[in-house]
């Protein structure tokens, strides 16, 4: 037979028998009873998952996410806590206002640096932040310099308010005037003119119109209402505004001592003005009591006459401790309490707080006389009768004999 005849071909492999299929299915898994021949006909049986198992899986997933978020949050808080102080996060940069009312004495030592001052202010709780303080200083007042000394500040001031006090910025925009308790109206006007640049004549003109300032009509002038003390008036304040400020101060003192009503106000202010010239503060109340005894007892030792040298001197436009008999007999002087009974025409100066308080609350005593026997110490002696008073006057005369220049 030729070489390419079928008898020379290799034999075909035989098809697997049923037993072979069963063995293969046993290896790969249980075969379906309807499986076709070969591998593609084999099906693998899947385990069924219950609803409860799926819920457990979901819960585990949620818990895992929640735990991850919590861990991240804790880590973030720790990082912020560590770096925020270094970066200045959450720090209060400034307070507002003039302070919380708690006074602090702050000292700037010689040679202190701006940074040192700022840090000290923050350490003492006066300002919130030294850096902010220096920023405000640089932006607004860098041309000003801190002066050594002690300053009355408050806790929790804004940077601007603290700078205002330390650099005396208010003073740069105000006029300073100091008024003494024993000054008369014309002296006060002169001081106001010098301190503000407004003419004394303008103040004097207003002083003769007390009604402009709400002063009772029984006062001839504004005298008595120019409250003594230190003032800082705005540079653009008018003469009327300045006088009103002083008048309002006196009204506040009267109200504080329960003094109301036109007649009562006239009485208290007039007596208080006399006290400022008749003795020293510790003697104001007993002198006020003696004045009331004279005024309220026309049949008493002085027959209702006040007999004050200070009132006569005011009416004469002079200042003197000695009034002559001729001056005491001068009826043209409406302030002559030797000639006219009762109080003079009006106050003879502007009294301060102590004198107003004493006049409003005089000491109850039996005195009718008083005399200052030592002009250096202000020592004053009191007497109930004229004879006792004359003995006290001799002590005064002796003082004057030894101190002629003072008594003149």
What pLDDT sits at residue 3?
42
| 57-83 as b/e: b if 16+ CB within 10 A | eeeeeeeeeeeeeeeeeeeeeeeeeee
Residue 212 has a CB neighbour count (10 Å cut-off) of: 14
SS3 of residue 274 by DSSP? helix
pLDDT per 10-residue tile (average), the chain, 408 residues: 42 46 41 42 51 70 68 62 52 83 90 92 94 90 80 93 82 81 95 96 97 97 95 92 97 97 98 95 97 95 95 94 92 96 96 97 97 92 97 95 85
Q: pTM here?
A: 0.62
What pLDDT sits at residue 147?
82
User: In terms of DSSP H, where are the helices of 43-97?
Assistant: 51-87
Quick one: residue 224, left, alpha or beta (phi over 0 = left, psi -120 to 50 = alpha)?
A: left
What pLDDT sits at residue 50?
73
What pLDDT sits at residue 66?
67
Torsion of CA 118, 123, 129, 130, to 10 degrees: 20
SS3 of residue 84 by DSSP? helix
If we measure between CA atoms, which residue out of 283, 277, 258 comes closest to residue 268?
258
Crossing angle of helices 130-140 and 114-123, rounded to 10°: 130
206-254: pLDDT as tens digits? 999 999 999 999 999 999 999 999 898 988 999 999 999 999 999 999 9
Long-range (24+ apart) CB contacts under 8 A made by 329-335 are 335/311
Distance from C-alpha of 381 to C-alpha of 364, rounded to nearest angstrom? 16
Per the CB < 8 A criterion, the answer to whether 269 and 251 are in contact is: no
Q: Is the dihedral of CA 354, 356, 361, 362 positive or negative?
A: positive
Per the CB < 8 A criterion, the answer to whether 384 and 367 are in contact is: yes
Residue 116 has a CB neighbour count (10 Å cut-off) of: 13
Q: What is the 3-state composition of the chain as percent helix, strand, coil, each rounded to the nearest 5?
A: 50, 10, 40
Per the CB < 8 A criterion, the answer to whether 274 and 310 are in contact is: yes
């Amino acid at each position: 037979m030729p070489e390419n005849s079928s008898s020379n071909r290799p034999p075909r492999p035989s098809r697997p028998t049923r037993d072979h299929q069963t063995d293969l299915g046993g290896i790969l898994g249980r075969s379906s009873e309807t499986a076709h021949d070969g591998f593609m006909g084999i099906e693998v049986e899947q385990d069924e998952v219950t609803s409860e198992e799926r819920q457990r899986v979901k819960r585990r997933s949620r818990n895992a996410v929640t735990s991850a978020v919590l861990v991240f949050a804790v880590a973030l808080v720790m990082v912020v806590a560590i770096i925020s102080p270094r970066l200045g996060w959450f720090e209060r940069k400034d307070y507002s206002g003039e302070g919380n009312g708690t006074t602090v004495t702050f000292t700037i030592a010689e040679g202190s640096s701006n940074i040192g001052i700022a840090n000290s202010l923050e350490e003492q709780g006066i300002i919130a932040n030294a850096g902010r303080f220096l920023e405000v200083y640089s932006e607004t007042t860098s041309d000003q310099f801190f002066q050594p000394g002690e300053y009355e500040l408050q806790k929790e001031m804004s940077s601007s308010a603290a700078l205002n006090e330390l650099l005396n910025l208010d003073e740069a925009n105000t006029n300073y005037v100091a008024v003494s308790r024993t000054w008369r109206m014309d002296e006060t006007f002169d001081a106001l003119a010098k301190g503000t640049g407004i003419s004394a004549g303008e103040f004097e003109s207003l002083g003769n119109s007390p009604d402009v300032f709400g002063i009772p009509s029984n006062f001839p002038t504004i005298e008595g209402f120019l409250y003594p003390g230190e003032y800082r008036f705005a540079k653009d304040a008018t003469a009327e505004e300045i006088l009103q400020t002083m008048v309002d101060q006196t009204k506040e003192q009267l109200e504080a001592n329960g003094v109301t009503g036109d007649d009562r106000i006239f009485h208290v202010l007039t007596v208080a003005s006399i006290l400022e010239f008749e003795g020293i503060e510790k003697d104001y109340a007993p002198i006020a009591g003696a004045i009331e005894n004279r005024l309220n007892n026309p049949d008493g030792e002085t027959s209702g006459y006040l007999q004050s040298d200070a009132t006569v001197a005011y009416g004469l436009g002079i200042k003197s401790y000695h009034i002559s008999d001729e001056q005491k007999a001068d009826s043209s002087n409406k302030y002559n309490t030797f000639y006219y009974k009762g109080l003079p025409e009006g106050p003879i100066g502007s009294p301060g707080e102590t004198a107003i308080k004493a006049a409003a609350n005089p000491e109850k005593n039996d005195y009718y006389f008083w005399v200052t026997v030592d002009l250096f110490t202000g020592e004053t002696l009191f007497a109930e009768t004229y004879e006792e008073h004359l003995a006290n006057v001799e002590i005064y005369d002796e003082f004057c004999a030894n101190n002629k220049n003072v008594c003149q």
